[in-house]
Structure 1
Amino acid sequence: MTIAITGATGQLGGLVIDSLLARVPATEIVALARNTEKAAGLASRGIDVRHFDYNQPEGLEPALKGVDRLLLISGNEVGRRTPQHKAVIDAAVAAGVGYIAYTSFLHVDQASIIAVAPEHKETEKLLAAAPVKVGLLRNGWYTENFIAQVQQSAETGTLLTSADAGRISAAARKDYAEAAAAVIGADAVDDAVYELSGDESFTYGDLANVTAELTGRPVALQNVSEEEHLKALLAAGVPEFGAQFFASTDLAIKEGELFDEHPGTLSKLIGHPTTSLKDALAPALTQG
């Protein structure tokens, strides 16, 4: 069996490979990377490293030769991901890949506000039409997505949000990586949808409290309207696209799109509780 991982030098891909190495021999893993020089460390561990660029469709099928299972980690170029993912899926089918696992988004079939939803929905449709078995890894929000925000709040003493009391079922990147490795490296694979989220949800109020606890500095929660939030972000120099993204994400949180009412699938897959909010944020807030 040969398992290929896209985005192998990325933050998630690297963690997936680390976890996968505990399950299968290095000789059964193919690391697909846009920059193969960055993957030198993987090659030194006995892993087959192949050039793989979502924006160069002509090179995708040859890179997938001999691959049985593929983990397609969603691209990071928002607005271009659907054609990129289509090129990968088409190449995988042409190369004879029998199973594709894809990192989608939590309850994406029900999401309408969160900005990342449309491209994930479109990719899931492409996968549904492909003649392969498919595993949909619908990952919730990464706890690490809040690191820059809480670091800033520790400095300013204020955590700004327009999410109100909306709850977030986030988990650490390492947890999602372990789940991906468990699915792609399982003895048997079949069509399945995995709604993946942290065991415990939290609010922005919890983020403020944990930040204060870890840094020893008071952090006040400032809840504002979506319009006020957007204005504040723009005034702080955040580019318009980024400001719109952050404000719309908080609206999605407020409306419950980042909350999982029935958690537990992720911790069951990885065989242990998901990383707590405090433990996930501690390395970034207690450095030095």
Structure 2
Amino acid sequence: MTETLLVTGASGQLGRGVINHLLNTLKIPASRIIATTRTPANLADLAAWGVLVRAADFNDPQSLGKAFAGADRALVISTNELEIQGKRREQQLAAVTAAKQAGVGHLLYTSMPNPEPGSPVVFAPDHYDTEQAIKASGIPYTIFRNGWYNENLFMALPQVLASGQWYTSAGDGAISYGTRDDFAAAIAAGLASDSSESATYTLTGPSAYTAAEVAALVTEVTNKPIQVIQLSDEALTEGMMSAGLPEPFAKVLVSFDAAARAGDLGIVTDTVEKLSGRKSVPLKQFLETNKTALAG
């Protein structure tokens, strides 16, 4: 296979992980890889290895058209624009249009689990509408519905361990945590595949855990007890805002708890292992490996 593979958001953690797996795990020649980013200087090392680095700004459709030129298979990593409602959707729909105009043969996209209408997650409509636009484009596609990263726990666990209290509104809802690198390996394999079939995959870790179960694992690893305190969504939002979080961001975080409570984030699949050909990292192993980082 000699197809050219494109990765957007290549300066980000997931994008960089995908490219690393293309180069080092799958041994794709650097000359067949296009890495796009708003800041090409940040990818100088990739350029030195022979990867074609291009500027692409999701707020500039013209730059997207130039970036996608010549790509046979293109991975659009969802943007991190959350401050302006609907902006992420606008950016991603522009990328779909650019891919179609550039003649991309297969379009891949990173979505989220269960983004259909009715999802409690604040930005779920951005993903759902992007998925629909991809399907309407007529381009063969692969949609990766990425689960919750283990690494996201670092946003809260240092404070939880410091106080000994974990405030949540997730109830008994479980989340199928998985490592970002495991997801990147699976996505890289999908991007490098020669399959032209359209497919939607949900990427998860090997097990799902409630907040209480995660707390028990963290306690086992750190020897620090954690009390899980269940709140309403409203009380949790108010508490986060009192701690200094902007209201829009607090509502996004609480919406994840609401989605977990609704059962939207607890699905477990073996898709990561099937695509990547390797065993997924269990949550306890991840916590043990990153024990120092848990303390903040």
Q: Which residue does 2:8 correspond to in 1?
A: 6
Q: Which residue does 1:278 correspond to in 2?
A: 284
Q: Give distance in 2, aligned partners of 1:281 and 1:45.
A: 33
User: What are the ranges of 5 or more consecutive residues in structure 2 without an aligned counterpart?
Assistant: none
Q: Does 1:230 pair with 2:237?
A: yes
Which runs of 4 or more aligned residues in structure 1 lie more than 3 Å from their structure 2 counterparts after TM superposition? 281-285
Q: Does 1:134 pair with 2:118?
A: no
Q: Give distance in 1, aligned partners of 2:132 and 2:184.
A: 23
Tell whether the 8 Å contact from 1:144 to 1:281 is kept in structure 2 after alignment: no
The RMSD of aligned alpha carbons is 1.6
Tell whether the 8 Å contact from 1:144 to 1:280 is kept in structure 2 after alignment: no
Q: Give distance in 1, aligned partners of 2:44 and 2:221.
A: 36
Q: Does 1:17 pair with 2:23?
A: no
> Which amino acid counterpart does residue 9 of structure 1 have in structure 2?
S
Q: Deviations for 1:37-66, whole angstroms, at most 9, x for unmatched residues?
A: 101111122111001110111111122221
Q: 1:73 aligns with which of 73, 77, 87?
A: 77
Q: 1:269 aligns with which of 249, 255, 275?
A: 275
SS in 1 for 2:285: helix
Q: Deviations for 1:146-176, whole angstroms, at most 9, x for unmatched residues?
A: 2121111111111111111111112111111
Q: Which residue does 2:39 correspond to in 1?
A: 35
Q: Which residue does 1:208 correspond to in 2?
A: 215
Worse-matched range after superposition: 14-23 or 264-273: 264-273
The residue correspondences of 1:87-126 to structure 2 (distance < 5 A) are 87-109=94-116, 112-126=119-133
Q: Give distance in 2, aligned partners of 1:97 and 1:175.
A: 26
> Which amino acid counterpart does residue 199 of structure 1 have in structure 2?
P
Tell whether the 8 Å contact from 1:26 to 1:46 is kept in structure 2 after alignment: yes
> Which amino acid counterpart does residue 245 of structure 1 have in structure 2?
V
Tell whether the 8 Å contact from 1:234 to 1:240 is kept in structure 2 after alignment: yes
Q: Give distance in 2, aligned partners of 1:267 and 1:183.
A: 12
> Which amino acid counterpart does residue 125 of structure 2 have in structure 1?
P
Deviation at 1:283, TM superposition (A): 4.6
Q: Deviations for 1:12-31, whole angstroms, at most 9, x for unmatched residues?
A: 00000011113211111000
Deviation at 1:7, TM superposition (A): 0.2
Q: Give distance in 1, aligned partners of 2:101 and 2:117.
A: 31
Deviation at 1:116, TM superposition (A): 2.6
Deviation at 1:110, TM superposition (A): 6.6
> Which amino acid counterpart does residue 271 of structure 2 have in structure 1?
T
Tell whether the 8 Å contact from 1:194 to 1:265 is kept in structure 2 after alignment: yes
SS in 2 for 1:44: helix
Deviation at 1:33, TM superposition (A): 0.8
Q: Which residue does 1:245 correspond to in 2?
A: 252
Normalised by the length of structure 2, the TM-score is 0.92
SS in 1 for 2:49: coil
Percent identity reads 37
Q: Give distance in 1, aligned partners of 2:276 and 2:107.
A: 19
SS in 1 for 2:156: helix
Tell whether the 8 Å contact from 1:162 to 1:251 is kept in structure 2 after alignment: yes
Worse-matched range after superposition: 16-25 or 207-216: 207-216
Paired positions, count = 287
Tell whether the 8 Å contact from 2:122 to 2:251 is kept in structure 1 after alignment: no
